[in-house]
Amino acid sequence: MPLARDVAEEVAKQYGVCIRPVPLKRLDTHTGHWEIVDVPCGATLEAKCAPCAKRNRQLRMAQCREGWHLEAEPAITPDEPNEEQRWLVEFRADVQAQRDQADQAGQDAADLDELISGLDEEINAAGMRGNVLGRTVPKRNRSTRRRQDAPDLPKRKMAATTLGRTFTSSDGKIYRPSLFVTLTLPSYGKVKNGTPVDPDSYDYARAARDALHFSKLVDRFVQNLRRVAGYDVQYFAAVEPQKRLAPHLHMAIRGTLPRAEIKQIAAATYHQVWWPPADRVIFDGDRLPEWEDGTGYFDPVTGEVLPTWDRALDQLDTDEAAEPLHVLRFGVQVDVQGMLAGTPDADQCIRYLSKYLTKSISDSLDPDDQAQRDHAARMAEALRFEPCSPTCPNWLRYGVQPKGAKPGMTPGRCRGKAHKPDHLGYAGRRVLVSRKWSNKTLAEHKQDRRTWVLEALGQTDQPTDPHRYIWKPVPASDANVAPLAIRLLRSVAERQRWRAHMVRLQAEAGEQDLSATEGRAA
């Protein structure tokens, strides 16, 4: 006999129901009752189960298709926050409070951090821009010398449009061509089947820094692209691992430019990382900086206090001879394809763009390929002591206090995603969609997400007081959490009810449409 749980999982998959729901405790402040509700894993965590991943991929494909060959300017007006958005922000605030509490109590907050970063992505995916915390510190004013220079590229006058040019054929048909561009990073040494021919001479250090800052290079490319194109170019891009484990980028671009210009832009684009030097190891092994309350990190031998992050940056600003920590450029391999809406080629690109969405960088590793596994291990090692962000504990190794320094920081023990073998340096988003790509699909996207959440809450569509609920995580061992099989079947039943409800609503809407038409006719 099959296990009940396996059967329930199969049924859940057929209904597109999350098979790894996250139980959460919810306090209803109106009634004072606590209850446990399941939230789809896709709505809280980065790791998504198959049904959540599939749904996510479908939404992304629809979003990509919708924006690529848009014929009219998308109307971008911030909507009133909806229930789901409010819910996410409330939940985010609650988790933040718990995280801070755990941190103060000296407990491990890694799980909560993970949940928070997942929620932040979710909040953005739900159609809200920015971070719920906003900008907490004033932006640094860098000296002009440190600004990224604009590369030497042709510049067109900016037109206030996001749409590309159209072409009319002799028979009057209008064509709306677009581009599919692939950008890669440079070579770090000769590779064969994705692994270095000579691991000793392969430039892992450079590969690590390139991967860490890759998203910044992409930002620069878009800025330059817009400057050259002379309109507000929109894109839908996916960051994917190459076989050699370096991130590369596939980008659907609305509108078209000459192939040679795209190549010229890619060649001229670079990004300078203005961080303090991190090439000379100052503290290592047993000799590490120590913490003192009110002072920060200091050298236990000399007693000297390490420069804070801000001071290290100030030093960089005033040092005429300072060099950027790292400069990134794309590799020479740039692929540019012209596309037309609705063609099989365009469809294939859309599938391609969403192909890796559900996978982590390391998923493309072949478990039987020892050479590749060794390559991945060397890459992870190169990333171990590389500072991943201003707050990375690795800064202590190079004699700088990380931004927001606190006790207990140890170089080589950063919990940042970038150091994890799953990410291999790239901790950014896998899908990059410009703000004016489309609006309709985003609304659909929101609607769908909203439906998930409401389903999870056991509600259909009645408005709720945004301050009504307080959420808390539940340990998996909690005796009040029903066995997974039962929870899955409950979700299936919920989905069935919801579907029936939708059918009923549609039927009613249809009748109303009909009577409205009849009314007009009369």
Residues that bind Zn ion (CB under 5 A): 18, 20, 40-42, 49, 52, 388, 392, 414, 416
Q: How far is the CB of 395 from Zn ion (least distance, A)?
A: 9
Shortest Cβ distance from residue 265 to Zn ion (Å)? Answer: 31
Please identify, using beta-carbon distances, which residue of 253 and 484 lies nearer to Zn ion: 484
- Which lies closer to Zn ion via its Cβ, residue 236 or residue 395? 395
Q: For residues 179 and 392, which CB has a smaller minimum distance to Zn ion in the complex?
A: 392
Q: How far is the CB of 435 from Zn ion (least distance, A)?
A: 27
Tokens of 118: 């997942």
Beta bridge mates, 237? 251, 432
Tell me phi and psi for residue 457, to 5 degrees: -85, -5
Are 39 and 20 a contacting pair, CB within 8 Å?
A: no
Q: How far is the CB of 41 from Zn ion (least distance, A)?
A: 3
Question: Please, which residue, 126 or 392, has the CB nearer to Zn ion?
Answer: 392
Helices (H), 105-150: 110-125
Residue number with CB closer to Zn ion (40 or 428): 40
Per-residue DSSP letters for 147-195? Answer: SPPPPS---PPPBS-S----EE-TTS-EE--EEEEEE----SS-EETTE
Minimum distance between the CB of residue 425 and Zn ion, rounded to whole angstroms?
10
Helix (H, G, I), strand (E, B) or coil at 253: strand
- DSSP code of 403? T
Query: Minimum distance from CB of 52 to Zn ion (Å)?
Result: 3
Least spacing, CB of residue 445 vs Zn ion, in Å: 16
Q: Which helix (H) or strand (E) holds 327?
A: strand 326-329
CA 248 to chain centre: 15
H helix count then E strand count, the chain? 13, 16
Question: Which of 227, 415 has the CB closer to Zn ion?
Answer: 415
Task: Report the alpha-carbon distance of residue 16 to residue 11 in Å, rounded.
Answer: 9
Q: What phi-psi label fits residue 233: left (phi over 0), alpha (psi between -120 and 50 degrees) or beta?
A: beta
The two structure tokens encoding residue 13: 């998959």
Q: Which residue, 56 or 195, has its beta carbon nearer to Zn ion?
A: 56
